[in-house]
Amino acid sequence: MDFLLRLEQSGFSTWIRESSSLFAFPGVLLLHTIGMGVVVGINAGIDLRILGIAPALPLAPMERFLPILWVGFWVNAATGVILVVADATTKLSNPDFYVKMVFIALAIINLRMLRNRVFRDPLIDKEPLSTNAKILAVTSLIFWLGAITAGRLMAYVGPVSNGIRG
Amino acid sequence: MNLAHVHLLLNHFPTIGFGIGLALFFVAIAAKNEELKRASLLVFFLMALVTIAVYISGSAAQNLLHNRPDVAPGLVRAHEDAAFWALVFMELTGFIAWLGLWQFHLIKRLATWNTVTVLVLSILTFAVTARTANLGGDIRHPEILSEQQSATDDGAGVPDVARSVADFVTGHAWAWPTLETLHFVGLCMLFAVVLIVDLRLLGMAKKFSFAALYQLLPVGMLGFGINLVTGMMFFISTPEQYVKNIAFHWKIALVMLAGINALYFMLVDEPWLVGSGDDAPASAKFVAASGILLWVGVLFFGHMLPFIGNSF
């Protein structure tokens, strides 16, 4: 707890939390939301295509969007760390935060499995998609929905800092 | 100039514009003219877009008229209730009209299900919109009131669905976070389609032909629909957070522009020439880049509601 308190009271954390600059808390949060749109959006686009939406759209070129997804992911990892550090004692004592982390871990593992099963398959776009791929698409959507819900609820359940409702 | 001016400026568009669209639609159906039907759907969609701004600015005007002795609260309340229904029907018609425009490109005509649905909805929409306009006129033109409609009515007995929605959302602790979560889900759907389609036109994943990407557009529109419904529920529940919020004004203005930006894909044939492996023409790239910028702008101002403006 001492360590968390020191993190939270560092100059950087205080600036993020208390500065009126739009580059501090508002800007970091904005990047976190844009990153969410990129990561979850592109992943959901791939999932929906696997589930049969837009059948004329070939799946293989979708892989080109994965690097953008990863940029979004690392933006969100970095901004996420900043948001946690700035409010460390509260955020890290909120069980909902760990629920969110579990959902994100599951979603990322799911994405890697999906990539191995679908994009690494030499018969992609030549044969109908396996049931396995469709199940992975459904679980992917569920995990991301869980992550978004848990993320949003961090402003409402468990300990919540006044003024930092994200 | 404040939003009440905007309301006065825009408030005749939904009724008159929609009336013109409806007349055009009747003629088009009678003449079996597919292009004319398409034009009517376009008018319906644009009016649905304008109506968002009319409703929001109307709420701002209501805010300004609050506690004025020369304005009867009952008349304002009746106008607000009618406006809520006009908004619901208008946006539903706009959404179905958009689907018709979308499908038009695939089957080269307007689908029968779409013609029938839009026809029924647009007649209803015109009726509720005209009623709203009429009730709005009563507020500033008491000379046209009948004996029963007293200008001093306090409005307590007037039904008002907008207020019921507000009471529901603010009265249940789970409602606001649920709406926020859904707003984020809609954001992801819309933003994904914007990114995939626009980045392809800008040169990424060129194996996609535009025709294949076109199938994704309804996913984005559904995301927009989710966000319009949840967004308007935020607005109706706590209008005071938004009507004087400059970030919100910008957000809505950019949503209007982004809606017009998206029409390029529906109405212009040029992007259809972009096949698998082709480079998109400069004009398509311009529309694509501006589309991404507009939506990032919408996200920016949405996010800045509490920081630049006064929300929360």
Residue A119 and residue A116: Cα distance in Å, rounded? 6
Q: Where do the domains of chain B lie?
A: 1-159, 161-312
Q: Where are the alpha helices (DSSP H) in chain B?
A: 3-10, 18-31, 34-65, 73-107, 112-140, 161-171, 175-201, 210-214, 217-237, 246-267, 282-303
In this prediction, residue A4 carries a pLDDT of: 86
Task: With CB atoms and an 8 Å threshold, state whether A37 touches B299.
Answer: yes
The DSSP letter of residue A93 is T
* A145 neighbourhood in chain B, CB within 8 Å: 185
pLDDT tens-digit map of A128-147: 888 999 999 999 999 999 99
User: How many C-beta atoms surround the C-beta of residue A52 within 10 A?
Assistant: 10
Which H or E run includes B241?
none
Query: How far away is chain B from the Cα of A17, in angstroms, using its nearest Cα?
Result: 13
Give A27-63 pLDDT, tens digit per residue: 999 999 999 999 999 999 999 999 999 998 999 999 9
Chain A residues in contact with B211 (beta carbon < 8 A): 56
Residue A18 has pLDDT above 80, yes or no: yes
- Cβ-based contacts under 8 A for chains A and B: 105
| Separation of alpha carbons B60 and B240, rounded Å | 8
What pLDDT is stored for residue A152 in this prediction? 93
DSSP state of A23: T
Question: Is A9 a domain residue?
Answer: yes
The dihedral through the CA atoms of B201, B204, B206, B212 has a sign that is negative
At residue B242, the pLDDT reads: 92
Q: In B, residues 280-309, which contact A (CB 8 Å cutoff)?
A: 296, 299-300, 303-304, 307-308
Test A42 with B219 for CB contact under 8 angstroms: no
Residue A165 lies inside a defined structural domain of this protein: no
Q: Which chain B residues contact residue A21 at CB under 8 A?
A: none
- In which domain, by residue range, is A148 found? 2-153
B312 interaction partners in chain A (CB closer than 8 Å): 165
Given a contact cutoff of 8 angstroms between Cβ atoms, the answer to whether B217 and B245 are in contact is: no
Are A146 and A103 in contact by the 8 Å Cβ rule? The answer is yes
- Angle made by CA atoms B172, B177, B181, in degrees to the nearest 5: 140
Task: Find, among A63, A83, A74, the residue nearest to A38 by Cα.
Answer: A74
Per-residue pLDDT tens listing for chain B (312 residues) = 678 888 988 888 899 999 999 999 999 999 999 999 999 999 999 999 999 999 999 988 888 887 777 778 888 888 989 999 999 999 999 999 999 999 998 888 899 999 999 999 999 999 999 999 988 888 877 666 665 555 556 666 677 888 899 999 999 999 999 999 999 999 999 999 999 999 999 999 999 999 999 999 999 999 999 999 999 999 999 998 898 899 999 999 999 999 999 999 888 989 999 999 999 999 999 999 999 999 999 999 999 898 887 776
Q: Is residue A159 a part of any domain in this protein?
A: no
DSSP 3-state assignment of A132? helix
pLDDT of residue B288: 96
Stated as kind and residue range, the H or E segment containing B151 is: none
Check A153 against B177: CB less than 8 A apart.
Answer: yes
Please state the rounded mean pLDDT for residues A5-16. Answer: 86
pLDDT of residue B25: 96
B48 vs B96: CA distance, rounded Å = 11
CB contact under 8 A, B196 and A22: no
Confidence of residue A166 (pLDDT cuts 50, 70, 90): very low
Identity of residue B164: S
Chain B residues closer than 8 Å to A48 by CB? 219
Cα gap B44→B126, rounded to integer Å: 10
Inter-chain contact A45–B219, Cβ cutoff 8 Å?
A: yes
Domain count, chain A: 1
Instruction: Suggest the residue from B178, B183, B188 to mutate for an interface test with chain A (most A CBs closer than 10 A).
Output: B188
**ipTM score for this prediction:** 0.90
- Asked if B264 has any chain A CB less than 8 Å from its own CB, the reply is no
How far apart are the C-alpha atoms of B122 and B44, rounded to whole Å?
A: 8
Is A45 in contact with B205 (Cβ distance < 8 A)?
A: no
DSSP-assigned states of every residue in B249-272: HHHHHHHHHHHHHHHHHHH-SGGG
CB contact under 8 A, A57 and B312: no
With respect to residue A158, please indicate whether it lies within any of the assigned structural domains: no
Q: How far apart are the C-alpha atoms of B46 and B18, rounded to whole Å?
A: 9
Contacts of A56 in chain B (CB under 8 A): 211-212, 215
| N residues, chain B | 312
The answer to whether the CB of A69 falls within 8 A of the CB of A36 is no
